[in-house]
Structure 1
Amino acid sequence: MKRVSSAYLDRAALHYLERFASSSANLRKLLLRRVDASARAHGTDPAEGREWVEALIQRYQRQGILNDGLYAEMKAGGLQRRGGSTRMIRQKLTAKGLDDGQVEAALAGLEGADEGEAEMKAAIAYARRRRLGGFRPDRGLPEEEVRARRDKDIAAMARAGFDLETARRVIDADDPSAL
């Protein structure tokens, strides 16, 4: 493990941000892990490293390299397109260290959020991606197997964070394009 310095943390942060989008809290956590590992390995003071990390985060925020609001909107949109429920999106954004105001603003900015369609669009995308319900390629099965698969499909939608009514509407639709 290299000894951490201000320049080292700057290079490490920029290298990480070149590859991944990140929230301020997530980058802080990542850099503090390096500071703590260096302090254990070299017997240095971790408080000095924490000060460097805070200064670095503030500088990146001033320069616009880190923008938590923009990150939240981008991440929420991507998760919705992949079929993420609003509940799951809220949990993932909170886990990345975003505050409630940023999370709520990102959820309000989702496609279809103003008409209340965001959850249904995400449910349809999730069912299509996972090939559930009407998106299942092997239709025309015996009735008992269809019932068993229906229950499993609804359970999968529930585990993904969708409410029962939305899951039933998506799974029970005869024609997925009608949704």
Structure 2
Amino acid sequence: MAEESDRRGQGARPARAPRRITPDYLQRAAMHYLERYSAPAAQLRRVLARKIALSCRHHGETPAAHAATLDEVVARCIASGLIDDRRFAEARASTLRRRGQSQRAVAARLSAKGISRDLVGEIACGEAADELAAARIAAKRRRLGPWRRQETRAEFRQRDLAALARLGFDYATARAAIDGEAEPAP
């Protein structure tokens, strides 16, 4: 028995059974999640749906019985301003752009989080200057192009262009970032 508990790495204490789903429990779970993470409505819905599914599987209930409660909790969070998809998408997009993500990558990430296509289109559309700045950030982070040693820069030009293309930048933007000069240190 001691061997078995050592292999699991959890000691001898058994796993706790999931709680039964009640409207109060779901509301508290939503608040706890939103205290820790910024999330769009679709993400909160997925998290709570997983909790419902786990509880229902353990207690022999059907998850469809809690669909109305789930909708109410998410609607209450939206109405109170705890969830704002636009605010989340704008903040997440600006963070990703500062990290050097392309417009395509930003749009894909936002869509994966459950942001609507229309909102993604509004937010992810940036100017060409923004795209070039993001490509330069990506090249700098990966030490491509002007941030590569001068003697190997020409040898690795095609690989550097391909790396930026895989990150979602178009050819003209990648070429401008790779063939440009590194900005001087302040």
Q: Normalising by the residue count of structure 2, what TM-score does the alignment of the two structures yield?
A: 0.83
**Does the alignment pair 1:29 with 2:29?**
no
What residue number does 2:131 align with? 119
Q: Distance in 2 between matches of 1:11 and 1:132?
A: 47
Determine if contact 2:102/2:169 at 8 Å carries over to the other structure.
yes
Cα distance in 2, alignment partners of residues 150 and 116 from structure 1: 22
Unaligned runs of 5+ residues in structure 2 are: 1-17
1:176 counterpart residue number: 182
Contact 2:102-2:167 at 8 Å conserved across structures: yes
Aligned residue number for residue 80 of structure 1 = 97
- Cα deviations across residues 107-137 of structure 1 (Å, max 9, x unaligned)? 24xxxx3x5312111111111222211122x
**Separation in 1, partners of 2:137, 2:167:** 12
For residues 17 and 71 of structure 1, the distance between their equivalents in structure 2, rounded to whole angstroms, comes to 12
C-alpha separation between the residues in 2 aligned to 1:5 and 1:149? 59
Looking at structure 2, the residues matched to 146 and 41 of structure 1 have their Cα atoms a distance apart, in angstroms, of: 59
Other-structure match for 1:50: 67
The corresponding residue for 2:170 is 163
Provide the C-alpha distance between the structure 1 equivalents of 2:118 and 2:153, rounded to a whole number of angstroms. 43
Alignment partners' CA distance in 2, 1:146 and 1:77: 30
Structure 2 distance, partners of 1:44, 1:100, is 34
Q: How many angstroms apart in 2 are the aligned matches of 1:88 and 1:71?
A: 16
Q: CA RMSD in A?
A: 1.7
* Structure 1 stretches lacking a partner, 5+ long: none
Q: Deviations over 1:120-173 (max 9, x none)?
A: 11111111222211122xx243xxx53442222111111110011111111112
Pairing 1:123-162 to 2, within 5 Å after superposition: 123-136=135-148, 139-141=149-151, 145-162=152-169
Q: Does 1:6 align with 2:23?
A: yes
How many residue pairs get aligned? The number is: 167
Q: Percent identity?
A: 39
